[in-house]
Structure 1
Amino acid sequence: MDIEITSPSWKEYKKVSVTEFGARAGGKRCNGAAFQRAIEYCKSEGISELTVPKGVYYFRDGNHPTFDGLSDFRFDGGDSEFIFSTLKAFVDIRNCERVEFRHFAVDWDWEVKQLASIGLVRGVAEDGTSFDLVFPEYDTVPEEFPLRTFNPMNPATLTPGCELGHEFNGIHLGKASAMGGNVLRVELPRPESYRFLKQDQAYIVRHYVYDTNAIELHGNAHLTLSNVTIYSAPGHAFISTGDQHHWKLERCRIVKRPGTTRCITATADGCHISNSQGYFIIDSCDFSYNGDDCLNIHDNSVQGFRRIDAKTIRLSRVQRWRNPFGPGDSVEFRHADLSPAGIAANVAAVSWDEGREQCVLEFASELPAELNDRSILFNRRYDSGHYVVRHNFFHQNRARGILLHAGEGLVENNRFYRNQGSAIQIECGAEERWAEGFGVRNLVIRDNWIESSDVNHWNMAVIYMGVYLDQGRTDYPIFQDIRIENNTIVNCPQQAIYVSSCERVFLRNNALVNPNAGPLKTAQDGDENCVANREYYRGSLMASHCNDVYIENNRRLSIIPTMESHIYIEPNTSRSVTLRDNIGFAEEDR
């Protein structure tokens, strides 16, 4: 994993300041036009570095900085803050080569609109048809106050997630009526679905989710962002797509602004990488309080098609941004169980009907007549793999610490704390909601410290490896050549490690302290954000639908009472599993 990021190279070093083009700190004037004039001047004149004198700069009219087509360039924010209030990417960096961006912070203007609020259940009607929410941050609830999602939070620590917590979507709720002051009464059209609501439950109520991103990276090569802080954004914090390759985040932070009562930073992922060319490094960063995953690495697939003729098919439930098919792309067809169909074809033409979320793909050659219309399509133009993720702190966020759908990776020496879902989730699948990942190969997860994660019992394991498919688990090893070694896992409610649909996996020298320390989640707790058939998940370590797995030299230590204490190998789906020299597990199950 020797990924080299090339720095800017200058024959003649030339520097300018944004103040030369009219930018001014202080006050609340919009600096968008001035910043853009400075950027365009740097591009046309081959300027080496654009600097910003330290201060607070506002961007109010939607004219946000766009860096497009620069090379051998550095932007130094001088430890300034940039404040935004329009639903447009805060900073857009695209088609640049050998560039650096450093020393600045970005934030959403919460005085204009809050991104999320703390909501406390004050009472539930006896017949279950409504509940009252009090919002302690307000004297009076604002008139425009969308209730997008309700995510459980711990009222003592004000962190996302709580034991056996339920989250739900505001789209299914009824009318919300002001009851005076900071109280809303929310009607429940289907009371039977909300029996979990109880007095004094706390929720992060998101008003924005995937609305716009803080820093967007498209098609850059040899890009470095260092010492960049994102206090909040109404969407992802960092996003990387397209022909983006060889780039790095170092010493970047996604953290709550000090001196505030905010309950969220970015309302979606901390760093979202999809349909890209991979080769990146994330080093010594701090990602926290995100509304979704801290780090999500994936490429998008599609399942199901309708054949039009021998060369042409129609895809449904697709979007151009999520499934960017283009002429010349190589598409591999997989069976519904993710196994290879032995068929690949190049796209000749694409036409979109975005309103119906459909597109038509015409291929350069005929497709075999026996091709199954439930096949899964991998667009092999993209591969977001080849990465190093080290020395980071992923903590106190709503979903997973790291979600891995791509391989050729090294994840080492990171710390995970109070992630609501799994600390590390290795995944691939296709279903009605999502279709992501082409499988994971050649991955090393080592020397990580994982504490108090899987808060909501999302996936039954702190390190979780599995697929999601309409038919359930697959015997095809979509995950291959993976080493999970020398990790410490402390205080997890259910399993520490679960692996499945895999081949040549090594679980070695891991320390498990107080695994299976929470109450068993049962059917009455609901299936939201939980795997189905949770009764199948047994033990502290488990393997199923696997071949050639080695579980060696792992140590389990329980200081408090725990639910289970053994290693469980599912007998009907597992082949060639080696158990050797594991300590502290129930003797009869080793």
Structure 2
Amino acid sequence: MELAGEWINESKVTPDIEIMSPTWKAYKNVSVTDFGAQAEGKRCNGAAFQRAIEYCKHEGISELVVPKGLYYFSDGNHPTFDGLSDFRFDGGGSEFIFSSVKAFFVIQHCARSEFRNFTVDWDWECGPLASIGIVREVAGDGRYVDLAFPEYEAVPDAFPLRTFNAMNPATLTPGCELGREFNGIQIGETSSMGGNVVRVELPTPESFRFLKRGQAYIVRHYIYDANAIELHGNAHLTLSNLTIYSAPGHAFVSTGDQHHWKLERCRIVKRPGTTRCITATADGCHISNSQGYFIIEHCDFSYNGDDCLNIHDNSVHGFQRIDAWTIRLNRVHAWRNPFGPGDPIEFRHADLSPTGIAAPVAAVQWDEERQQCVIEFASELPVGLAEQSILFNRRYDSGHYIVRYNFFHQNRARGILLHAGDGLVEHNHFYMNQGSAIQIECGAEARWAEGFGIRNLVIRDNQIESSDVNHWNMAVIYMGVYLDQGRTNYPIFEDVRIENNTIVNCPQLAIYVSSCERVILRNNVLLNPNAGPLKTEQDGDDNCVANRDYYHGSLMASHCNEVYIENNRRLSLIPTLESHIYIEPNTSRNVALRDNIGFANESR
């Protein structure tokens, strides 16, 4: 078949995103010190900062400045910027230290605003966010494990063990080859053995046979508890030259009617001069149920407890019909599934294909305790609508984005997790991401239901090194669905171009694409792909998609139509396990291969 050529229009995949700056008829600024803020000692500055913010809002002040210093926020009174327009906050290179489990900064309903030049951090003297744990001993019968915590002479009094994430003891980075992780729900009682050693009871020893003396873990004490900077419903917002050393949750969060915003030259990095093993205990930047149109460029995201960047909107899998107009949803939360009157709801089949049915919401009643809500629609639902349908709330679309010139590295999960389209991902550097460097995904099951599919996406000119450390998804660039039924032939991913990327040292596949249509893999260079040991059934399913024997080759396509694979080059300087392009014969249609170099074969 003929190759696709330029069937993706460049103007479609490079969003036209312009972020407006503040405009002032007459510039006027004030300082937080005018309202009682002090950088001396550990006194709380929350009330003083809030007085300054409210004054700026009501008096139409152009800029709030902070003299350079170290400012503490110790009583839970944290800055909230609400409803400011044509406004700038300049931190002056200051550091802001927080010790209460509450969002550090909240910026909401602001327009044409800028926030710049400051650092935020958690006060680790009030309690560590995570600690390095080393397996010192495993009981002969497997009923307990002793963990030593070398950062302490004696473990702190408050020391919850929330998750145990595999760590490379040589590089002190998240993940290690075939590493397994587990969480606090799986363990039993913990007790101090004196000094820095904690004994952890293991109620199901057969589940922990992978534990061996000397293994290292990042033990998180916080996960999704409080975010550093929350962004809600802003328009034309710029955050620049911000540093986040740590937070007990996500670093940046964007939700709601947020649109046209930018992160530039922002860093999520470990504080120098510390033994810390984590920055933000969750995602570096978490974007969900928003209006999209954002730019992230020249940023550095590292050592996150989850994905560096996660872009998605939430769906719901399954419902119970109450009557012709009303349904009940289970396993939902108002913050995760923000249904509201007027929201247009699209119903999809269980394989993600369209049903052709959509209806606007008339009313919603929430029962948060039972994780349920009842939705009444403004129009009658067809009798034959299956209760296993997947619901997309089309009020939200977190797509239309540019992600470029960033460094995503040494984090626990994926570099970038993409559930939304109309995007451009270019000139980024990915290094030692525990999961895939770039994961393109959509799905719905009991645990997660995220993404409405992707259309129009370009991934180009990126450098990817030593990622998929734990063999999470069997490919460093991974495109797939998760559904109760498994793969789907419906092309939920359309018009995707992956080109001119360099991928170095990946343990299994370099690129895997599925459930897609009109995809180009072109001019990519693969250096030492398939260089890790094959993961077997004995290694378990943790952090890895099921049916690992299903994956073959260095490049693979399945459940697809119109895939074009051309001018890719594979070069191995060390022995590797596989060296071919694999097209799954029973689920793939119209796949073209041309001028690929260094592959053993192009099998079908």
Same-fold status (TM-score > 0.5): yes
Q: Which residue matches 2:447? A: 433
Partner amino acid, structure 1, of 2:94? S
Q: Which residue matches 2:73? A: 59
Task: State which of 26, 33, 36 in structure 2 corresponds to 1:22.
Answer: 36
Q: Which residue matches 1:371? A: 385
Q: Give the drift of 1:513.
A: 0.1
1:509-520 correspondence to structure 2 within 5 Å: 509-520=523-534
1:425-574 correspondence to structure 2 within 5 Å: 425-574=439-588
Q: Retained in 1: the 8 A contact 2:491–2:516?
A: yes
2 CA distance for matches of 1:548 and 1:342? 24
Q: Which residue matches 2:4? A: none
Q: Which residue matches 1:384? A: 398
Q: Which residue matches 2:5? A: none
2 CA distance for matches of 1:584 and 1:291? 37
Partner amino acid, structure 1, of 2:364? V
TM-score of the aligned structures, taking structure 2 as reference length: 0.97
1 CA distance for matches of 2:457 and 2:601? 31
2 CA distance for matches of 1:203 and 1:249? 31
Q: Which residue matches 2:334? A: 320
Residue 130 of structure 2 is aligned to residue 116 of structure 1? yes
Deviation string 1:462-509 (CA, Å, 9 cap, x unpaired) is: 000000000000000000000000000000000000000000000000
Deviation string 1:426-459 (CA, Å, 9 cap, x unpaired) is: 0000000000000011000000000000000000
Deviation string 1:113-141 (CA, Å, 9 cap, x unpaired) is: 00000000001001111110000001111
Q: Which residue matches 2:51? A: 37
Number of aligned residues: 590
2 CA distance for matches of 1:452 and 1:349? 49
Q: Which residue matches 1:299? A: 313
Task: State which of 80, 89, 99 in structure 1 corresponds to 2:94.
Answer: 80
Partner amino acid, structure 1, of 2:66? V
Task: State which of 88, 103, 109 in structure 1 corresponds to 2:117.
Answer: 103
1:207-286 correspondence to structure 2 within 5 Å: 207-286=221-300
Task: State which of 361, 364, 378 in structure 2 corresponds to 1:350.
Answer: 364
1 CA distance for matches of 2:55 and 2:403? 36
The SS at the match of 2:54 is helix
Residue 329 of structure 2 is aligned to residue 331 of structure 1? no
Given the superposition, is the C-alpha separation of residues 240 and 588 from structure 1 closer, same or farther in structure 2, using an over 3 Å criterion?
A: closer
Deviation string 1:45-66 (CA, Å, 9 cap, x unpaired) is: 0000000000000000100000
The SS at the match of 1:42 is helix
The SS at the match of 2:33 is helix
1:390-409 correspondence to structure 2 within 5 Å: 390-409=404-423
1 CA distance for matches of 2:191 and 2:496? 52
1 CA distance for matches of 2:195 and 2:102? 32
Partner amino acid, structure 2, of 1:347? V
Q: Name stretches of at least 5 consecutive residues in structure 2 with no aligned partner.
A: 1-14
The SS at the match of 1:456 is coil
Q: Which residue matches 2:163? A: 149
2 CA distance for matches of 1:532 and 1:125? 30
1 CA distance for matches of 2:24 and 2:70? 30
Deviation string 1:157-177 (CA, Å, 9 cap, x unpaired) is: 100000000000111101111
Q: Give the drift of 1:588.
A: 6.2
TM-score of the aligned structures, taking structure 1 as reference length: 1.00
Partner amino acid, structure 1, of 2:219? V
Computed over aligned residues only, the root mean square deviation of the Cα atoms, in angstroms, reads 0.6
Task: State which of 414, 421, 436 in structure 1 corresponds to 2:428.
Answer: 414
The SS at the match of 1:309 is coil
2 CA distance for matches of 1:587 and 1:112? 58
2 CA distance for matches of 1:358 and 1:180? 45
Q: Give the drift of 1:2.
A: 1.9
2 CA distance for matches of 1:208 and 1:453? 25
Q: Retained in 1: the 8 A contact 2:593–2:602?
A: no
Partner amino acid, structure 2, of 1:405? H
Deviation string 1:508-559 (CA, Å, 9 cap, x unpaired) is: 0000000000000011101112111000100000000000000000000000
2 CA distance for matches of 1:11 and 1:140? 59
Q: Give the drift of 1:589.
A: 3.3
The SS at the match of 1:111 is helix
The SS at the match of 2:549 is helix
1 CA distance for matches of 2:82 and 2:200? 46
The SS at the match of 1:192 is helix
Q: Which moved more, 1:288-297 or 1:523-532?
A: 523-532
1 CA distance for matches of 2:110 and 2:131? 37
1 CA distance for matches of 2:324 and 2:43? 59
Q: Give the drift of 1:143.
A: 2.0
The SS at the match of 2:124 is coil
2 CA distance for matches of 1:127 and 1:273? 45
Deviation string 1:344-377 (CA, Å, 9 cap, x unpaired) is: 0000000000000000000000000000000000
Q: Which residue matches 2:594? A: 580
> Runs (4+) of structure 1 moved beyond 4 Å?
none
The SS at the match of 1:243 is coil
Given the superposition, is the C-alpha separation of residues 500 and 588 from structure 1 closer, same or farther in structure 2, using an over 3 Å criterion?
A: closer
Given the superposition, is the C-alpha separation of residues 588 and 53 from structure 1 closer, same or farther in structure 2, using an over 3 Å criterion?
A: closer
Q: Give the drift of 1:26.
A: 2.3
Q: Name stretches of at least 5 consecutive residues in structure 1 with no aligned partner.
A: none
Partner amino acid, structure 2, of 1:546? C
Partner amino acid, structure 2, of 1:552? E
Identity of aligned residues (%): 83
Q: Which residue matches 2:194? A: 180
2 CA distance for matches of 1:454 and 1:469? 22
1 CA distance for matches of 2:228 and 2:425? 25
Partner amino acid, structure 1, of 2:315? S
Q: Which residue matches 1:205? A: 219
Q: Which residue matches 1:94? A: 108
1 CA distance for matches of 2:370 and 2:121? 35
1:166-177 correspondence to structure 2 within 5 Å: 166-177=180-191
Partner amino acid, structure 2, of 1:71? S
2 CA distance for matches of 1:293 and 1:129? 32
Partner amino acid, structure 1, of 2:209? R
2 CA distance for matches of 1:153 and 1:170? 17
Q: Retained in 1: the 8 A contact 2:582–2:602?
A: no
Partner amino acid, structure 2, of 1:305? F
Residue 290 of structure 2 is aligned to residue 290 of structure 1? no
Partner amino acid, structure 2, of 1:76? D
2 CA distance for matches of 1:385 and 1:63? 34
Partner amino acid, structure 1, of 2:499? E
Q: Which residue matches 1:140? A: 154
